Amino acid sequence: MIRKLLRRVFTKRAASPLKAQAAEIPVKLHGIQNTMILPAARKVCTVLQEAGFKAYVVGGAVRDLIAGFKPKDYDVATNATPDEVRNLFRRSRIIGRRFRIVHVMSGAETIEVSTFRALHDEDTVTDEHGRVLRDNVWGCIEDDATRRDFTVNALYYDPTTEIVLDFHHGVADLKQKTLRMIGEPRARYREDPVRMLRAVRLAAKLGLQIDPEARHPIREMAELLENVPAARLFDEMLKLLSSGYAVACLKQLREEGLHQGLLPLLDVILKQPLGEKFVWLALANTDDRVLTGKPISPGFLFATLLWHEVLASWELRRKNGELAHPALFEAMDEVLASQAEKLAITRRISADITEIWALQPRFEKRAGKAPYRLLEQPRYRAGYDFLRLRAESGEIDMALPDWWDAFADADTEAREAMLVPDKKDGPRKRRRPRRKPGAKAEADTPAE
């Protein structure tokens, strides 16, 4: 125990001369006024500061505001420990295993509050590849800044003074459109392989060029992503695909060699003419909705990415003599199971995906009561949007979604006229009336 304490003390002393010094950037240079900060984040900082702690809005929110983007969420960094933060906010909870953080709820908003992290040392727990497994050692703000991945994320904004503390020239890198890693890139990727995906996402979103030193190791180290927990990889992929720049992100994923294995069948999909067009249309539609402030469905998004693999498996099974409906569900299960090893899609999202897929054959039925029942389905709209996307990519005739569009808007009389006769039924035969017992015998008895 004493040896461990001494090693930590001397390690910190040896590292202290190398700690970054913060540049204090005034509001006239960075342009962030405290009124631009989410009120809930300002409140968290104020409460912590009034209790005697340091507190800053940190990372992505500061980066995005300087770059002219609207932040999706706000994080706060402080020298208060998770327990101290928890004691200051009634509506809060401590989460996390690898690194404990606090979620502070304020109205409908949730602010993530993290304690300044210490630099890694010999006691840091890692796996055989160098990925950090546990990291609950607190440090100072200088250590915390050095621990962050990219220079543009090592920015700390004080809502009280409106000053940005810049430890690694992140503001200058933003102005110069450069994404630069803090520290030696290979070591940082080993600590957390997800940083390779994050580099692609940030570069695509902010229009940055990845610094050559940070870019060169990515292709050869991509296999490290296999060691990342499936749930965490899914979260990062969802952020990437719902960033509003999914098309640019996916193109850069392919350039960096990171697309293979993330969605196990994605590379195959993009080599199919119809599949590739379908995926790009889906991603472009998602980007447009995000950038115009419209909601998006993760289930719909992943349903589009994997549909052509379902379609290929479904068609093969039908050729082998399987019935259409069971064959579709077998194909769906096969595709979802094949990617589950890499991406832990939640049950709710998986349910959305399968519902959208399962509705597709039902759009072919335009006779009898089937169209009316389909319109009443809760997922009808998502299924219809998926159907139209299939038509726009050339997979099916546009006449089918056009028919449903007209049918949905028509009145009762017009709908009845639009119904397509079911050719398989043929002319209906009149049923002969059933005779009462003994009726035949009476009929056959000759009259006297």
Q: What is the pLDDT of residue 327?
A: 94
Above 60 in pLDDT, residue 206? yes
Domain 268-421 top-level CATH class? mainly alpha
Closest CA to 197 of 216, 226, 220, 225: 225
Where are the strands (E) in 79-179, listed by range? 92-95, 101-106, 109-115, 125-126, 132-134, 155-158, 163-166, 178-179
Above 80 in pLDDT, residue 69? yes
Q: What is the pLDDT of residue 346?
A: 86
Given the residues 64, 75, 135, 211, the one annotated as active site? 75
Report the C-alpha gap between 202 and 310 in whole angstroms.
31
Q: Is 211 a catalytic residue?
A: no
What percentage of the chain reaches a pLDDT higher than 70? 82
Q: What is the pLDDT of residue 414?
A: 93
Q: What is the pLDDT of residue 447?
A: 46
Q: What is the pLDDT of residue 169?
A: 93
- What amino acid occupies position 191? E
- Tens of pLDDT, residue by residue over 252-283, are 887 777 766 565 555 655 666 667 788 889 88
Cα 242-246-251 angle, rounded to 5 deg: 155
What is the number of alpha carbons within 13 Å of residue 237 lying toward its C-beta? 26
What is the number of alpha carbons within 13 Å of residue 295 lying toward its C-beta? 4
End-to-end CA distance of the chain: 121
Above 60 in pLDDT, residue 124? no
Q: What is the pLDDT of residue 20?
A: 66
Given the residues 73, 121, 158, 235, the one annotated as active site? 73
The token duo for 406 is 């007209």
Q: Is 73 a catalytic residue?
A: yes
Q: What is the pLDDT of residue 446?
A: 47
Domain 14-177 top-level CATH class? alpha beta
Given the residues 135, 143, 149, 352, the one annotated as active site? 149
Which residues sit opposite 102 in a β-bridge? 94, 113
DSSP 78: E
- Tens of pLDDT, residue by residue over 39-61, are 999 999 999 999 999 999 998 99
Lowest mean pLDDT, pick from 107-111, 280-284, 361-365, 440-444: 440-444
- Domain residue limits, the chain: 14-177, 268-421
Contact status, residue 276 vs residue 269, Cβ threshold 8 Å: yes
- What amino acid occupies position 234? F
- Tens of pLDDT, residue by residue over 384-432, are 999 999 999 999 999 999 999 999 999 999 999 999 886 554 454 555 6
Q: What is the pLDDT of residue 142?
A: 93
Per-chain mean pLDDT for the chain = 84
Q: Is 149 a catalytic residue?
A: yes
Q: If phi over 0 gives left and psi between -120 and 50 gives alpha, with beta otherwise, what is residue 52?
A: left
Above 60 in pLDDT, residue 13? no
Question: Between 96 and 307, whose confidence is greater?
Answer: 307
Q: What is the pLDDT of residue 140?
A: 92
Report the C-alpha gap between 202 and 152 in whole angstroms.
10
Asked if 14-177 and 268-421 have one fold, the answer is no
Q: What is the pLDDT of residue 399?
A: 96
- What amino acid occupies position 120? H
Q: What is the pLDDT of residue 64?
A: 94
- Tens of pLDDT, residue by residue over 215-263, are 999 888 888 888 888 888 888 888 888 888 888 888 888 777 776 656 5
